[in-house]
Chains A and B, each alone.
Chain A
């Protein structure tokens, strides 16, 4: 397509003064108007998409605004998912008055095809990941992605995903994928082979308020992990089909997703399974997180609450082990083994249809601040207190019967505390090494006092 040249039809009349006589020059005092914008490096990205993003640059009145608008346009262009790099060059116009400027955006488009190969060793298995990505497939930021994992234990997994952004005010993104996944759950004694498809519509209804509307159809096959798994697990193995609608509401007002200093996060996940298929339930899960700095920005107090409730549908559809809630492990109630809280049968943890868990953290920088302003900022120390309970949602005890419901939820709750070091992994993940002391546990639980290591995205 070559370069995009755009010209403002009629220069607006100047309203600001010609300049200031102070020694410090106020940029907002310098009148400016943009007469020309060049865009270099556009090959397959559609013109209208780029034009929409750079249009505000034409509306500027003075130089400061010009710089700000140009930067906004730059980050907007980068968010399109079409360019790997965008740089700005602002110059005076060759022909025209002293207030006329030309802006050049130099963009580098993403490659047509990006491939990757990784290997991983773990879980008593070696795996090979291969991925293929076609960014900006049709020139409007569409993305097509294929991932394939080959495991040495014949655990092949794949995911094929197509994503299309609409670039409207609601930031609507439609994506659909088909997948095959394998997951093993040693604490629960089963493994799960999932094959299915997912359609996801993501949009915002107000700034920071994000919605995901999803439909998922998933054929699940549960198998016993070992010959000695609990009979209660064996009773639930076999094939099932889940066909579910899901709505995820996320209100994220935190300043950072991994180590926020202030702000809160609210996420409500509602899932209705039972549109066809033989699995039926209505599942609600809430995630709350609040952060506040105390004694300056270095010390942050964080409180979290995560709870879920699943109701069976009365039309003979079933709930399987794959749908249940589980509790315990380094990501939620620390000081317990993974899934090592409650509802145990012959050493396997079966999960339940109701749970709550809560955490209180005090984050601080590393003592004596080694590597300040650099590597050291990736670390935090924290003191924590976590509690939670996995309970049977008794169908006879309706939620309306508040006291008994609360009593059921609080009876025999688990509690642990400890301290540790957290490390930021990339922009989203976290790695934690903690010393944990479980305080309250029940028979059948698997408390894990001492050092515990965890890596993940969503930490309680």
Chain B
């Protein structure tokens, strides 16, 4: 009897290093859960962010929807991409993978702008990301009317309830570690308001956040705000807050029109 020996971390890192020099493959694939009946607001925001980023980089990919996308992902989170032999999950690793191929959206930024951009990106993922998770998994009405139904839709009874319950435990533990679980809905909405305020002030009346050219921050803001605006929830107060910032709405519409060339732009 024999056991396959798993390639060690060193080999893996080496492979990544070597493979990264190859050009972006034509048959790259982008994996996410089913958009229509399954995906949840926080996941949708992340998937849309990465999609927008890849489109801004002018990289081609085939969109694949899988009910088990979350489990297929090496990090357990969506989205992830498959490029040749590589499987890479989540926004930051995907950005560094793309940059290794010499493709970047930030060459026009000086170092202080880069630092600025990173700060805003972490603001968006911390505040908006957590707020989306909070609304989806901690608000009782949303949990029972939307989240559980959608999350469990791809599983048979009784796995649908068990897995939703398990997932809720995971999300709540993470929110608790970040001190979000003790917040009330109005605290969360306040945070969202402050975040939008900061973003809106930074954007002012430019087309994009930096030098009128798109960066990953634009992709990320688009992903989150567009998802918040277009996801129907029992409590749509988050969407109403975002709607108060006209310049952010315009940013979303611009990116939607320019990079997603949908037949008719979604009215926000």
- A136-171, CB under 8 A of B: which get 1 and which 0? 000000000000000000000000000000000000
A-B contacts, 17 listed (Cβ < 8 Å):
A123-B3, A219-B162, A225-B6, A226-B6, A228-B6, A228-B12, A231-B87, A239-B71, A239-B155, A241-B155, A241-B156, A276-B156, A329-B1, A337-B1, A337-B2, A338-B2, A453-B1
CB of B4 closer than 8 Å to a CB of A? yes
Question: Shortest CB–CB separation between residue A313 and chain B, in angstroms?
Answer: 14
Residues of chain B in range 112-159 having any CB-CB distance to chain A below 8 Å: 155-157, 159
Q: Which residues of B contact A453 (CB under 8 A)?
A: 1
- A271-314, CB under 8 A of B: which get 1 and which 0? 00000111000000000000000000000000000000000000
Question: Shortest CB–CB separation between residue B106 and chain A, in angstroms?
Answer: 28
Bound: A187/B157 CA distance, A:
32
Question: Shortest CB–CB separation between residue A326 and chain B, in angstroms?
Answer: 13
CB of A98 closer than 8 Å to a CB of B? no
Question: Shortest CB–CB separation between residue B16 and chain A, in angstroms?
Answer: 10
Contact flag A219-B68 (CB < 8 Å), given A186-B3, A330-B1: no
For chain B, the count of residues having a C-beta within 8 Å of the partner chain is: 22
**Contact with B82, one of A219, A231, A236 (Cβ below 8 angstroms):** A231
B1 touches A186 (CB 8 A): no
Q: Which residues of B contact A454 (CB under 8 A)?
A: 1
CB of B163 closer than 8 Å to a CB of A? yes
Q: Which residues of A contact B157 (CB under 8 A)?
A: 276
B156 touches A448 (CB 8 A): no
A237 touches B2 (CB 8 A): no
Contact flag A239-B163 (CB < 8 Å), given A187-B4, A227-B74: yes
Residue in A189, A228, A231, A330 whose Cβ sees the most chain B Cβ within 10 Å:
A228
Q: Which residues of A contact B155 (CB under 8 A)?
A: 239, 241, 278
Question: Which single residue of chain A is at the shortest CB-CB distance from B71?
Answer: A238
Q: Which residues of A contact B1 (CB under 8 A)?
A: 329-330, 337-338, 452-454
B6 touches A237 (CB 8 A): no
CB of A223 closer than 8 Å to a CB of B? yes
Bound: A347/B86 CA distance, A:
16
CB of A44 closer than 8 Å to a CB of B? no
- B234-265, CB under 8 A of A: which get 1 and which 0? 00000000000000000000000000000000
Contact flag A238-B7 (CB < 8 Å), given A276-B157, A330-B1, A338-B1: no
Question: Which single residue of chain A is at the shortest CB-CB distance from B159?
Answer: A241
- A355-369, CB under 8 A of B: which get 1 and which 0? 000000000000000
Q: Which residues of B contact A189 (CB under 8 A)?
A: 4
CB of B77 closer than 8 Å to a CB of A? no
Residues of chain B in range 139-192 having any CB-CB distance to chain A below 8 Å: 155-157, 159, 162-163
Question: Shortest CB–CB separation between residue A150 and chain B, in angstroms?
Answer: 22
Contact flag A237-B68 (CB < 8 Å), given A231-B87, A278-B156: yes
A235 touches B66 (CB 8 A): yes
Question: Shortest CB–CB separation between residue B159 and chain A, in angstroms?
Answer: 5
Bound: A278/B158 CA distance, A:
11
Q: Which residues of B contact A347 (CB under 8 A)?
A: 4
**Contact with A237, one of B4, B71, B82, B156 (Cβ below 8 angstroms):** B71
Residues of chain B in range 41-81 having any CB-CB distance to chain A below 8 Å: 66-68, 70-72, 74
Majority DSSP secondary structure for residues of B touching A: loop
Question: Which single residue of chain B is at the shortest CB-CB distance from A185?
Answer: B4
Question: Shortest CB–CB separation between residue B75 and chain A, in angstroms?
Answer: 10
B68 touches A238 (CB 8 A): yes
Beyond A239-B71, A338-B1, 4 additional pairs, beta carbon < 8 A: A225-B6, A234-B72, A239-B155, A347-B4
Question: Which single residue of chain B is at the shortest CB-CB distance from A456?
Answer: B1
B72 touches A226 (CB 8 A): no
Residue in B7, B70, B155 whose Cβ sees the most chain A Cβ within 10 Å:
B155
Q: Which residues of A contact B67 (CB under 8 A)?
A: 238
**Contact with B2, one of A123, A219, A448 (Cβ below 8 angstroms):** A448
Bound: A102/B155 CA distance, A:
67
A239 touches B6 (CB 8 A): no
Question: Shortest CB–CB separation between residue B179 and chain A, in angstroms?
Answer: 28
Bound: A281/B49 CA distance, A:
40
Bound: A77/B71 CA distance, A:
53
Bound: A235/B65 CA distance, A:
11
Bound: A227/B72 CA distance, A:
11
Question: Which single residue of chain A is at the shortest CB-CB distance from B69?
Answer: A238
Question: Shortest CB–CB separation between residue A108 and chain B, in angstroms?
Answer: 41
A223 touches B87 (CB 8 A): no
Bound: A238/B167 CA distance, A:
13
Bound: A225/B12 CA distance, A:
15
Contact flag A239-B12 (CB < 8 Å), given A338-B2, A347-B4, A454-B1: no
Q: Which residues of A contact B68 (CB under 8 A)?
A: 236-239
Bound: A277/B82 CA distance, A:
30
Q: Which residues of A contact B163 (CB under 8 A)?
A: 239
Q: Which residues of B contact A277 (CB under 8 A)?
A: 156
Question: Shortest CB–CB separation between residue A196 and chain B, in angstroms?
Answer: 12
- A168-195, CB under 8 A of B: which get 1 and which 0? 0000000000000000001101000000
Bound: A241/B154 CA distance, A:
12
Bound: A149/B221 CA distance, A:
48
Bound: A347/B3 CA distance, A:
12
Bound: A254/B82 CA distance, A:
54
Bound: A231/B3 CA distance, A:
20
- A225-257, CB under 8 A of B: which get 1 and which 0? 111100100111111010000000000000000
Bound: A454/B2 CA distance, A:
10
Bound: A234/B86 CA distance, A:
12
Bound: A189/B4 CA distance, A:
9
B4 touches A186 (CB 8 A): yes
Bound: A277/B71 CA distance, A:
19
- A64-98, CB under 8 A of B: which get 1 and which 0? 00000000000000000000000000000000000
A238 touches B3 (CB 8 A): no
Q: Which residues of B contact A219 (CB under 8 A)?
A: 159, 162
Bound: A23/B250 CA distance, A:
119
CB-CB nearest 8 A-B residue pairs: A238-B68, A238-B71, A186-B4, A226-B6, A278-B156, A186-B3, A237-B71, A234-B72
